[in-house]
Amino acid sequence: MTTDRTTDDLARVVTTYLDHLVVERGLAANSVRAYRRDLQRYVAWCRARGLRSLAQVQERDVADFLADLRAGGQEHPPLAASSAARTLIAVRGLHRFAVGDGLTPDDPSRTVQPPTVSRRLPRAISVDEVTRILEAAGFSRTPAALRDRALLEVLYGTGARISEAVGLDIDDVDVDGRAVVLRGKGGKSRMVPIGSFALQALDAYVVRGRPALLAAGRGTPALFTNVRGGRLSRQGAWAVLKAACDRAGVTAAVSPHTLRHSFATHLLDGGADVRTVQELLGHASVTTTQIYTLITVERLREVYAEAHPRARD
C-alpha cells in the first residue's frame, strides 16, 4: 500500500499544482494545458529513472532532464531552446510549489539554468500594408465582409489578442466612451480606447451585418459571429485575415498577432511611451513591452544609415 502511494506521489503533486494554477493564480486554459503536458513529460522521465517522489529529486536530476530534452531520444525529438526553457519553467514552478506547501524540504531546480534563447523581435508590418489588408477585408458590403472589416479594425485598433477579439460580446463595446473591454490572460479585464475607423466599421457591421448572420443561429451575445449565427472561432478569424492578405497582395507571413505587434510598434513610432503601450497590450511586466522599442531603434538605425551623409563609409 505504501509503495502504491509513493509511486503515485509525483502525479498527485502535479495534479495539486495544476489545481493551484487554475484556482489561485487564474491561469488561462491554454497555459494550464501547456503546464500539464510539460509536467507529464517530467513525471515520466523521473519514473523511468526510479524517482517516485519530488523529495527524491536532486539538482543533477533536473539538469539531466533538461539535457535530455535538448538531446532528444526515442520518446521525442530534440527540443528547441525555447521549448526546453518553457518546460524548465513548469518544472521550477512545481518544485517551488512543493517547497511552499511543505511537501519537500528544498528546491533542486533552483540553480539549474535554462538554455539561452535567441531573442527574436516580433515582426510588424508597415502602416501601408495594414491599410491595404483592412481595405481588402471590406471589399464588399455583404454581412460577412462587414464583419471581417470590423474584426480586423478591432485587432489593429486595440492591439487585442485573437482570443480577446473573438471573445468580445456586444455589450463589451462602449460606443459613447469610444472603448472596448478586453478579457486577457488569467481572466484580467482592461478597458482599451478604440479609434474612429474601428468604430465606423463596427457600427456598419452591428447595424447591417450582424443581424443577418445572427438569423441563422439561436441568438448569442458574441460580437463577432460566424455564418451559422454562433461565435466566430479563432480559426475562423485566422481565415478572415489570410483571405484579406491574399486579396491585398500582402505576401509576408501575417498572423493576428502580427497586427498586435504592428499596433504596439506604430504607437511607439508615433511617440507613445512604453508604460502606456504596456497598459494597452495588457502586459503584466513592462519588460515584455520593451522588446518593441528594439524594433523602433532598429528602424531608426536603418533610416540614419541611409539618410545621414556621414553614416556610411
Point out the residues that are catalytic. Answer: 161, 185, 257, 260, 283, 292
Task: Tell me how far apart the alpha carbons of residues 26 and 20 are, in angstroms, rounded to a whole number.
Answer: 8
Question: What amino acid is encoded at 130 in this protein?
Answer: V
Angle between helices 81-100 and 9-23 (to 10 degrees): 90
Alpha helices, DSSP H only, in the chain? 2-7, 9-23, 29-48, 59-71, 81-100, 127-137, 143-158, 162-166, 196-204, 210-214, 234-248, 256-269, 274-281, 286-307
Task: Show the cell assigned to 229.
Answer: 449565427
Q: Which residue has the cell 500594408?
A: 129
The four Cα atoms 293, 296, 302, 308 give a dihedral, to 10 degrees, of -100
Task: Tell me how far apart the alpha carbons of residues 197 and 214 are, in angstroms, rounded to a whole number.
Answer: 24
Count of alpha carbons within 13 angstroms of residue 182, beta-carbon side: 25
Which helix or strand (DSSP H or E) is residue 192 part of?
A: strand 189-193
